[in-house]
Amino acid sequence: MSLRTGELERYLEIARKIAIAAGTEVLKLFRSADLLIENKGTTNLDPVTFADRLAERFIIDEIQKYFPDDGITGEEYGKIEGSSLVHWVIDPIDGTRAFISGVPAWTILIAVNDGTRPVIGVIYQPFTEELFYGSRNYAFYELKGKRKRIHARKCEGLSSSIMFSTHPEIGNELEYNQFKEINNKVMLTRYGFDCYAHAMLAMGLIDVVMEAGLKSYDIQAPQALIVAAGGNVTSWTGADPQFGGTFLATGDENIHEEILSLLAGSRHM
């Protein structure tokens, strides 16, 4: 299914409005001293808060108000089947660890998938009021009602690039070793900014994001946004990453191909 231009614009505007409204609700609980934190993990910390569930429920209700036939997948409440081919993929608070630490590096993620791929991506940081959103070949940065076009940037080479990742100890043993190889070739690596890093790549401020062990709700909003900003998004094998797993995003196509070639070589060593 391919959404027509008018439909796409309507979906994008409503996704934008829902993200802003959800952010208003979440901010009431950000840096709250009595915020309850649960651990969904069995061996490692996988935190969830009342704010995560509140935000996802709010977003689901808003989507169903405007598009009752569409399906929805979220981190906290799973998959809701729809009768249309359009499917929303949401992460109410990407970066819960940052959220519970009082650091404004968490974001609200909303994607719209037309049945083949994510075609709309929204990343919103409510505390700073920074909104990143895009579809097809245009992406925007909006702050306090003022917006501008954003574009992923070109880069002279891997040795001149800035890379972000959530954790230094990334993925399984193979993925960790692959990441270290790329990490040794870039100019600078920073950690811990979750999906805010993807927004910075779409804005043309950094060059590479590498992640592993992601779910679809982590990937689809940044995937659509970065592509709309002229960037490149694949798995570490060059495949479509939308369903989860490894994630490689770059602003420069040549760097993307160089990293994929290095990753392919390291798998056969």
Please spell the DSSP secondary structure of 115-155, one letter per residue: SSSEEEEEEEETTTTEEEEEETTEEEEEETTEEEE------
Q: Which segments of 28-69 does DSSP mark as H helices, in order?
A: 50-66
Q: Provide the strand spans (E) within the chain.
A: 37-39, 47-49, 71-74, 78-80, 87-94, 107-113, 118-125, 130-135, 138-143, 146-149, 162-165, 188-191, 208-215, 232-234, 244-250
Predicted confidence (pLDDT) per residue in 164-208, tens digit: 999 898 999 999 999 999 999 999 999 999 999 999 999 999 999
How large is the average pLDDT for residues 226-244? 98
Q: b or e along 57-90 (b: 16 or more beta carbons within 10 Å of the residue's beta carbon)?
A: bbbbebbeeebeebbbbbbbeeeeebeeebbbbb
pTM: 0.94
Residue-wise pLDDT for 53-103, tens only, equals 999 999 999 999 999 999 999 999 999 999 999 999 999 999 999 999 999
